């Protein structure tokens, strides 16, 4: 059976769905691997490296012969026409609000998997693209902030005088936020952080950052069984905003990462708070694609709001593409391995498997995922 690693057609996507390591792994699983020419260029993987790992370098037309297509982004309508009916396509499908695109994959007879729907259970940790990519986004957010900051982050005592350490405040201490804290600490900043989940308190402290939050009764119950944040009450939001307003005025860099599953991102930084900060301070909004945590943040832009630089880069993991591709490719191949029979080394898709059930959008000509119009159980 043939796995095709596609070259991404989106001009803003530097990542690729295969690495040298993942090609070797696919070969050992019994697959023939075709990599579309140039697919890895923007992730610093050259065609001869894939070849050395056992892949054949092909063209877009080779997708037609593939049983499995690996991608970063959901295939476009045009790409879909190049796949054979019955093929498996695995990508970050961005399924919410894209019913038409999902229906098109069903009509084309594809079995489409959305990696971001992977359950966050122990068995699937190595397939968790939200974590692998958010972790790098958290790192990159600090690098982007440092670039815009025009000053050093660590305290530097020199013969010519002392540069003070930057104060960095991280809002939302999930996967991205914790990596942002760790990165800012490594760069020598004085770091504080906030979250609404009580479990975050200890994690923030263990990274050497100060935890700032309204720790009332609601806070103590703010984590869902799945480990995610709840949307907080109006009353809590008012108390949180007052605490944050006081703290933020003293910060040099603020990095926001707060998300609530299935809801728009919570608004955490108001225009008033931005105005209270020192001119030249930097705010990075990692939630900008989901509505934004910061008032005035613009998706895909770095804007000045009253003397404060507000950074709203899109696809932040894609800004660190070579590392992001390495981890993403590993997530993909680990998932695909669960679909391969150990005895026959052939694809043996089990639609009842919990990982398959959670991630399969389309199969057998129909939309199968209940969250996107598939039949309910
Ligand atoms: P996320 O991306 O959904 O949200 C980012 C952070 O924003 C979360 O920590 C959330 O609590 C916080 N937040 C939401 N509203 C807020 C507000 N009003 N103010 C401040 N902060 C707010 O979350 P995530 O990074 O995907 O991770 C969520 C949790 O899941 C974490 O505890 C993480 O460790 C856990 N997790 C578990 C697994 C696993 O078991 N396999 C994998 C990944 C993550």
DSSP, residue by residue, 47-82? HHHHHHTTPEEE-GGGGGG-SEEEEEEPPPHHHHTT
Instruction: List, for residues 76-101, the tens digit of each pLDDT value.
Output: 999 999 999 999 999 999 998 899 99
Ligand 1 neighbourhood includes 369 CB (under 6 angstroms): no
**Does ligand 1 lie within 6 Å of residue 258's CB atom?**
yes
Structure tokens at 243: 């605490």
Compute how many other C-beta atoms are within 10 angstroms of the C-beta atom of residue 370.
Answer: 11
Distance CA 171, CA 163 (A): 25
| Joined tokens for residue 15 | 């990542």
Closest atom of ligand 1 relative to the 259 alpha carbon: 4
Cα–Cα distance for residue pair 137/324, rounded to 1 Å: 9
Residues identified as active-site: 120, 125, 128, 131, 228
Q: Is 259 in the pocket of ligand 1 (CB under 6 A)?
A: yes
Instruction: Identify the pLDDT of residue 376.
Output: 60
Q: The pTM is what?
A: 0.94
Residues for the chain: how many in total?
377
Q: What is the pLDDT, as a whole number, of residue 375?
A: 72
Structure tokens at 10: 């989106």
CA distances from 210 to 156, 172, 205, 213, 277 (A): 22, 13, 6, 10, 19
Lookup: tokens for 301:
């832009």
Q: How far is the CA of 303 from the centre of ligand 1 (A)?
A: 27
Residue range 44-73, pLDDT digits in tens: 999 999 999 999 999 999 999 999 999 999
Q: Is 197 in the pocket of ligand 1 (CB under 6 A)?
A: yes
Q: Are 90 and 74 in contact (CB under 8 A)?
A: no
Nearest CA to ligand 1 atom 16: 258
Q: Considering just the CA atoms, what is the radius of gyration of the chain in Å?
A: 22
Asked if residue 227 has its Cβ within 6 Å of ligand 1, the reply is: yes
pLDDT of residue 246: 92
Q: How many CB atoms lie within 10 A of CB 86?
A: 13
Separation of CA 40 from chain center:
19
Pocket test residue of 229, 243, 269, 270 for ligand 1, highest count of atoms within 8 A of CB: 229
175 contact partners, CB below 8 Å, separation of at least 6: 130, 131, 134, 135, 138
The residues, ordered by sequence, that sit 6+ positions from 291 with a Cβ below 8 Å of its Cβ are 264, 265
**Per-residue pLDDT of the chain in tens (377 residues, 90 and over written 9):** 999 999 999 999 999 999 999 999 999 999 999 999 999 999 999 999 999 999 999 999 999 999 999 999 999 999 999 999 999 999 999 998 899 999 999 999 999 999 999 999 999 999 999 999 999 999 999 999 999 999 999 999 999 999 999 999 999 999 999 999 999 999 999 999 999 999 999 999 999 999 999 988 998 888 887 778 888 899 999 998 899 999 999 999 999 999 987 788 999 999 999 999 999 999 999 999 999 999 999 999 999 999 999 999 999 999 999 999 999 999 999 999 999 998 898 999 999 999 999 999 999 999 999 999 877 65
ipTM metric: 0.94
Q: What is the pLDDT of residue 377?
A: 53
Q: Which of 295, 291, 290 is closest to 308 using CA atoms?
A: 295
Q: What is the pLDDT of residue 320?
A: 98
């Amino acid at each position: 059976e043939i796995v095709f690693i596609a070259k991404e057609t989106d001009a803003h996507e530097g990542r690729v769905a295969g690495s040298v390591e993942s090609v070797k792994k696919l070969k050992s699983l019994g697959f023939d691997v075709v990599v579309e020419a140039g697919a890895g260029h923007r992730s610093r993987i050259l065609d001869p490296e894939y070849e050395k790992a056992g892949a054949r370098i092909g063209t877009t037309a080779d997708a037609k012969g593939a049983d499995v297509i690996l991608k970063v982004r959901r295939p476009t309508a045009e790409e879909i026409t190049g796949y054979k009916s019955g093929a498996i396509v695995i990508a970050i499908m961005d399924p919410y609000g894209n019913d038409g695109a999902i229906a098109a994959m069903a009509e084309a007879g594809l079995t489409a998997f959305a990696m971001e729907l992977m359950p966050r259970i122990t068995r699937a940790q190595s397939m968790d693209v939200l974590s692998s990519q958010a972790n790098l986004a958290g790192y990159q957010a600090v690098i982007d902030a440092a670039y815009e900051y025009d000053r050093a982050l660590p305290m530097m005592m020199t013969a010519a005088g002392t540069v003070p350490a930057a104060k960095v405040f991280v809002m939302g201490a999930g996967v991205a936020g914790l990596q942002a804290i760790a990165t800012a600490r490594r760069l020598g900043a004085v770091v504080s952080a906030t979250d609404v989940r009580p479990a975050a308190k200890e994690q923030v402290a263990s990274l050497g950052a100060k935890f700032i939050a309204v720790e009332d009764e609601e806070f103590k119950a703010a984590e869902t069984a799945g480990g995610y944040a709840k949307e907080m009450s109006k009353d809590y939001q008012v108390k949180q905003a007052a605490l944050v307003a006081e703290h933020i005025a003293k910060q040099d860099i603020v990095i926001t990462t707060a998300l609530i599953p299935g809801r728009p991102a919570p608004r955490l930084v108001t225009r008033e708070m931005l105005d209270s900060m020192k001119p030249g301070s930097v705010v990075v909004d990692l939630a900008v694609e989901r509505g934004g945590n910061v008032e005035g943040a613009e998706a895909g832009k770095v804007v000045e709001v009253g003397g404060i630089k507000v950074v709203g880069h899109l696809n932040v993991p894609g800004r660190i593409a070579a590392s992001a591709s390495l981890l993403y490719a590993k997530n993909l191949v680990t998932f695909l391995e669960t679909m391969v029979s150990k005895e026959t080394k052939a694809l043996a898709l089990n639609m009842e498997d919990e990982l398959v059930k959670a991630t399969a959008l389309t199969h057998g000509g129909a939309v199968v995922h209940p969250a996107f119009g598939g039949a309910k159980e």
